[in-house]
Amino acid sequence: MGAAYFYHLTRTPLEATLPMLIGKAMAAGWRVAVRGVSGERLDWLDEKLWLGPEERFLPHGRAGGEFDADQPVLLTTGAAPSTVITQTAPFVAAPVVSSTG
């Protein structure tokens, strides 16, 4: 059975909090789908994840490719592939909210 966790951003921006949460999920052996509100917003997040510190690199991919179901972290504006949801590890969905800056 999967699990869903919610995190309310109150003190740190998305670009600081989301990598930390994704890192914790991956350390637990989970696969993560980040569902965004727009392709432009996911472009922004994709760049932030690639430019993070090397020692905290988070392997990820954008939805729409041949290997979506194999991604440890999938950035998408739609639903995650069903193969992600049916894996034995829990599925985590983190919405990308709009923010200024």
DSSP assignments along 30-45, one per residue: -EEEEEES-HHHHHHH
Nearest to 95 by CA among 27, 23, 8: 8
Tens-place pLDDT, residues 6-61: 777 788 888 888 888 888 888 888 888 888 888 888 898 888 888 877 777 888 99
Predicted structure pTM score: 0.71
Tens-place pLDDT, residues 46-81: 888 888 777 778 889 999 888 888 899 999 887 655
Helix ranges restricted to H, 9-100: 14-27, 39-50, 82-85
Query: Which amino acid makes up residue 55?
Result: E
Band (pLDDT 50/70/90 cuts) for residue 100 is very low
pLDDT(95) > 50: no
